[in-house]
Chains A and B, each alone.
Chain A
Amino acid sequence: MNPSLFSPEGLAGVIFLILICVTMIGAIIATCTKRLIRSVSGLAVCFVGVAGLYYFLSSPFVAMMELLIYVGAVCVTIAFAIMLAEPDEAKMARKLSGLSGGLAAVCGGAVSFALGYAAVNGHWMAPAVQANDGSLKMIGQSLLTKYSMVFELISIVLLVAIIGSVALARAGRRGN
């Protein structure tokens, strides 16, 4: 039941493959480059790919939030931090080689293999019926009813984060 390449489904499949590539390439750039600013760009690319995957998982809202928060906020923040803290890149590059690289590859490979193995071999049971369509409206409703605790927690976490980061940044400044 392979769809034709030129049917809408086929095109969607191609786009999905492209998205996977984008995600993987982004992840590779994010972890393997020497310069941090490049790895942030890689991270941004990876997140764009992930947002696309979310779109395929029929939750466009989360996809958009992924772009808005990860690419627009987190990546920018990290880029700012790199500018402010300006790591010594030559030194960094020197340290990258050797043992830690091998160790890291072994760790990462092992973890992903284990997880992938578990995923492929798992017996996942699909539910008989889904309670709703998981649309934006439903998310909103459940956020304010069933999962209101989560909602409150998010806001508290964010508030604490804002206050904490402002306090930390200011304290460092006064230390001069």
Chain B
Amino acid sequence: MEVQAEGAGEDKAKAKAKKEEDVPRKNGLIETEYAKRGTHLDVQINPDQVVKAAEILDGEGMTLEMVTGVDWLKEKQFEVIYDYSYSGGQLFRVVVRARVDRDHPDIPTVCRVYGGANWHERETWEMLGINFVGHPQLEHFLLPEDADFYPLRKDFKP
């Protein structure tokens, strides 16, 4: 993983921050202010690095708390957000983000590393249509079995 210390961008002028967040972020780590964001470390990586990232964090004894998918319709991208937390004592939260192309939303699964990711990924798949490559059971879970839509996509019309 490439590490880019971009520094805490929060103290900078608002306009600049706004500008920064308008364009998708470059890969790398950001230390975020916990009080403001709820996380300590924000990591942006490529989709093919998520398993590696999970392995590293697993080695550190962290827990995968949840997997979130976000549909960035304008940018034609899906963002998959992995929330990691540390239950071993000191408070430490890491959020790992990866962006995939909206037309080919393939991202490797972290099921092999974290068994708990199974359900979260399955849910993300059925809500957003993000394909977790290598997932053992991408079947409908919360939605009815015959659902052929992805309700959390921004272009979803009921």
In-complex A–B contact (CB below 8 Å): no
- Chain B residues with CB under 8 Å of chain A are none
- Chain A residues with CB under 8 Å of chain B are none
